[in-house]
Amino acid sequence: MSEIYEPDGQFLERLEWQLSSEYRRTNRLKPSSGKIAVPRRMVAITCMVGILMTGVAMIKAAEYIQDSWRKKIEIARAETEVKLKKAHLESTREMASRAEMRFSNGLVREEEYRVIQIAAKRAELDWNKSLLNLDEVKASGAAPRNELYAPEVGGRDFVSERLKIEIKEIELDLELFRSRVERLKQLVEKGLVQGDEFGLIQSEIAARKVTIDKIQKRLDLRKRFVAGEITAQEVEIKDRMTIAERNLHLAQSMVDSLSEQLKRLKTLETKGMISPLEIKQMQYALDAAQAELELATLEMDVLKKLK
Amino acid sequence: MTEQQWLKMYRETVHPLYGYMARRTRGNRELTEDIVQESYLRALDDWNRKAVPDSPLAWLKRVARNILIDYLRQKRWVSKGDLDLNPDSANQTSEDQFESLEIFLAISTLGRKKARILEAFYYDGKSVREIANEMAISERAVEGQLRRARQSLKSLLPDSKTNGGKNE
């Protein structure tokens, strides 16, 4: 088979990265598991605005296709993204202001009100990120690049700017978890729930902090690369090392938490309170987590040798 | 569909999908890359809303083929200078590539059965026997259908454009 029918390695790598981030973006935009009742009319209006915006952008994209279509399509795609994010931001803000009113009238709980407020802040960050992407596409004429070793575009460091937004997004998660902890404390004091529910939230908070720490490290690496202190290859290895460290940390905390839960379940089983099947399921989850831990350890070893 | 499953599916399908599309664009790298990229983005959107199809590769090939046809249809009323041709990648002139893409577009306007048999023979480089096995018909029937499909194609194009050999 001639090599013209084979994809080029750089293309494959870049496409895989793009598909991976697109997957994460799409899944982040998915609604949470029905905790907030959004009025149907609001959903319908948001959808209509979205469809209209997409239509306008598609017409624009069709016009652009006449000449140097690759660059124009990238720009049209980024502009569509900005319009959709803007529409989403406006509808979320409206929901937040309604929620504020309903909260002050005692119609919704504080937690629900906070969730909507944070959703509005997150929508604003998403919009900012789409504006950033549009600026980069306009300046480079190609899809935004997120590798730590990507060059600056038009004197701007888009990679670092995006990483800073990612930190803000995670800080929003932390804000939400902290408010949940406060609420749980009240419930525990009233004897409505057991104290061990704190464990789950605390581990979520710890995981987010680890992620922020990882992004900070990536920001530092990026800064050193832009300053010319390290090469692209060094950046890549160090970046992989940061990710591997995080994976190792997460896998270790997962193993610890599951081991603890398994111990508790075994106690309950001796008292006949749960079935052996639940023990088996937990054992399976623990085995899987241990396998992940072994893999993460192996990855770290390999990277350390490369270093 | 988890992220790992999504990326695993990508790694398993990207080479055959790329080859499938590159043979139809006669090795036009930029056009092939754009179409492959767009196909996966559509897949992510569609599969997230519905479900992963039984044969992801077949789904991707169908979508990629439709994207190429849409693209060529949009370009058919403009001159070949507006097509994003990349002759160096296939050791062909722009003229060759323009004609190849024109032929592909003409094939796509034939009936589904004729288009399928011509594409399998000329673009995918399959033998008459392989096509016969896939379509569960005799080799003789395949030859007959190929002949009729070629005649239909000839009636759509000037003679010079249908005289090429297999795309290998």
Name which of B41, B2, B29, B7 is nearest B97 in CA terms. B29
pLDDT at A65 over 80: no
| Whether residue B58 sits in one domain with residue B139 | no
The mean pLDDT value for A273-285 works out to 86
Task: Give the pLDDT confidence of B50-70 residue by residue, as tens digits.
Answer: 888 889 999 999 999 988 888
Name which of A219, A200, A246 is nearest A162 in CA terms. A219
Residue B82 or residue A64, greater confidence = A64
| Whether residue B35 sits in one domain with residue B60 | yes
* B44–A26 CB contact, under 8 Å: yes
| Whether residue B45 sits in one domain with residue B20 | yes
Residues of A in contact with B37 (CB under 8 A): 15, 18
Residues of B in contact with A76 (CB under 8 A): none
Task: State the total domains in chain B.
Answer: 2
DSSP state letter for B157: S
Residue B163 covered by a domain: no
Residue A33 structure tokens: 């598991």
pLDDT at A224 over 60: yes
Chain A: closest CA distance from residue B27 (Å): 5
Residues of B in contact with A15 (CB under 8 A): 10, 14, 33, 36-37, 40
| Cα–Cα distance, A52 to A80 (Å, whole number) | 11
Residues of B in contact with A71 (CB under 8 A): none
Task: Give the pLDDT confidence of A142-195 residue by residue, as tens digits.
Answer: 888 888 888 888 889 999 999 999 999 999 989 888 888 887 888 777 777 666
- Looking at mean pLDDT, say which of A41-50, A208-217, B100-109 comes out highest: A208-217
| Whether residue B140 sits in one domain with residue B59 | no
| Whether residue B91 sits in one domain with residue B23 | yes
Query: For position A43, what pLDDT does the model report?
Result: 60
Average pLDDT, chain B: 79
Query: For position B84, what pLDDT does the model report?
Result: 45
Q: Which residue of B lies nearest to A24 if distances are taken between CA atoms?
A: B3
pLDDT at A15 over 50: yes
| Whether residue B81 sits in one domain with residue B137 | no
Query: For position A34, what pLDDT does the model report?
Result: 44
**Per-residue confidence at B10, pLDDT binned at 50, 70, 90?**
very high
Chain A: closest CA distance from residue B17 (Å): 10
Residue B55 covered by a domain: yes
Chain A: closest CA distance from residue B18 (Å): 6
Name which of B76, B78, B64 is nearest B106 in CA terms. B76
Residue B168 covered by a domain: no
pLDDT at A125 over 90: yes
Residues of A in contact with B27 (CB under 8 A): 2, 4-5
| Whether residue B65 sits in one domain with residue B10 | yes
| Whether residue B85 sits in one domain with residue B26 | yes
State percent of chain A over pLDDT 70: 83
State percent of chain B over pLDDT 90: 18
Q: Which residue of A lies nearest to B28 if distances are taken between CA atoms?
A: A4
Task: Give the pLDDT confidence of A86-105 residue by residue, as tens digits.
Answer: 999 998 898 888 888 888 88
Residues in Cβ contact with A152 at an 8 Å cutoff, skipping those fewer than 6 apart: A158, A226
* A4–B29 CB contact, under 8 Å: yes
Residue B162 or residue B49, greater confidence = B49
Altogether, the residues listed in chain B come to a count of 168
Last residue of a domain, one of B92, B109, B126: B109
Query: For position B88, what pLDDT does the model report?
Result: 42
| Whether residue B127 sits in one domain with residue B82 | no
| Cα–Cα distance, B96 to B163 (Å, whole number) | 12
Residue B143 covered by a domain: yes
Q: How far, in Å, are A18, B11, B32, B35 from residue B8 at the CA level? A: 14, 5, 21, 20
Residues of A in contact with B41 (CB under 8 A): 19, 22
**First-to-last C-alpha distance (Å) of chain A:** 37
**Per-residue confidence at A57, pLDDT binned at 50, 70, 90?**
low
Using CA of residue B39, residue B44, residue B49, residue B55, what is the dihedral sign? positive
pLDDT at B83 over 50: no
Residues of B in contact with A22 (CB under 8 A): 41, 44
Residue B130 covered by a domain: yes
Residue B165 covered by a domain: no
Residues from B in contact with A at Cβ < 8 Å: 3, 6-7, 10-11, 14-15, 18-19, 22-23, 27, 29-30, 32-34, 36-37, 40-41, 44-45, 48, 74, 78, 82, 84, 89-90
* B37–A8 CB contact, under 8 Å: no
Q: How far, in Å, are A251, A271, A306 from residue A285 at the CA level? A: 12, 22, 32
Domain, as residue range, for B44: 1-109
The mean pLDDT value for B122-149 works out to 88
pLDDT at A46 over 80: no
Q: What is the CATH number of the domain that holds B149?
A: 1.10.10.10
Query: For position B114, what pLDDT does the model report?
Result: 87
**Per-residue confidence at A55, pLDDT binned at 50, 70, 90?**
low
Pick from A19, A58, A73 the residue to mutate for testing the B interface (most B CBs within 10 Å).
A19
Which amino acid is residue B19, in one-letter code?
A: G
| Cα–Cα distance, A236 to A242 (Å, whole number) | 10
Chain B: closest CA distance from residue A109 (Å): 31
* B3–A23 CB contact, under 8 Å: yes
Query: For position A122, what pLDDT does the model report?
Result: 92
Chain B: closest CA distance from residue A160 (Å): 24
Q: Is A260 left (phi over 0), alpha (psi -120 to 50) or beta?
A: alpha
Q: For B23-82, give the DSSP string.
A: HHTTT-HHHHHHHHHHHHHHHHHHHHHS---S-HHHHHHHHHHHHHHHHHHHHTTS-GGG
| Whether residue B92 sits in one domain with residue B28 | yes
| Whether residue B15 sits in one domain with residue B82 | yes
- ipTM value > 0.85: no
* A18–B78 CB contact, under 8 Å: no
* A19–B23 CB contact, under 8 Å: no
| Whether residue B126 sits in one domain with residue B86 | no
